[in-house]
Structures are given as C-alpha cells and as structure tokens.
Amino acid sequence: MLSLSSERRGPYTVVKVAGNLDLITRDQFDQFMTKARRDNSQVIIDMSAVTFMDTGCLAVIVGHWKKLLSGSGNLILAGAQYRPAKALWITGLADRLPLYDSVDEAVAGAEASTPPGSSPTVERP
C-alpha cells in the first residue's frame, strides 16, 4: 500500500514515497517523516511514485515543512505528478511549497540556495 525508504544524498535526506498517501497510510508517513526530520534538517521527498495523495497527508507534509523551516532547515518536494498529487494544485500549496521536477534538480536547485517557495518548476499541464 505504501512503501517508504530514505537515503542520503549529499547534505540531504531523500525520502522515497511509493504508493497511496491517504487516511490508512497517514500515520505511517507522518512517523517516517518525523524520524527523517530528526536525523537531518534538509529533507527532500521523492514523490515520483506516489499513486494518490489526499489532503490529510498534504497537511502532514505542510506540518513537517513548517517545523523544518522554523529550525532553519528545509523540505523540498521532488517529482510530484499532477494527476495523483492534484491536491497540491487544488489547494494552491503547489505555489508555496518548494517543488522540483526530480530529485536531481532539487539537489542542484537547493544547492544554489533558492529561497523556499520561489521555485515552482513543475508546470500544471
């Protein structure tokens, strides 16, 4: 249903999310993100294999993003696909959260110290 893993990518922890982000998997996702955030203040979520995301899990992401920002860390979303992650666009949060097309671009872009929220490279089709 939901597969979570993390790996180190330079200064970043990349959390790879595969499957459904919904009420069933929300707590599992939240706990995994809490652990990732405690290990490292620079976190990238690889969303390229997300098959569905509801607003509850979007709220989880926003919560971790705010906590990381307040501790001078950052949370970046990479590879979010429009159809399965449409909640991002419907809510307008796609314009506020740092979004990159891929993990590679997120790592490169974040290294160029892009201000949070000013890099909406994922275009709405």
Residue 56 near other proteins by CB under 8 A:
yes
Question: Shortest approach of other proteins to residue 112 CB, angstroms?
Answer: 29
Question: Shortest approach of other proteins to residue 3 CB, angstroms?
Answer: 15
65, two tokens: 């993003």
26, two tokens: 């929300």
SS3 72: coil
Rounded to 10 degrees, the C-alpha dihedral 35/39/43/47 comes to -40
Residue 62 near other proteins by CB under 8 A:
yes
Q: Which residues bind other proteins (CB under 8 A)?
A: 1, 20, 22-24, 52, 54-56, 58-59, 62-63, 83, 86-87, 90-92
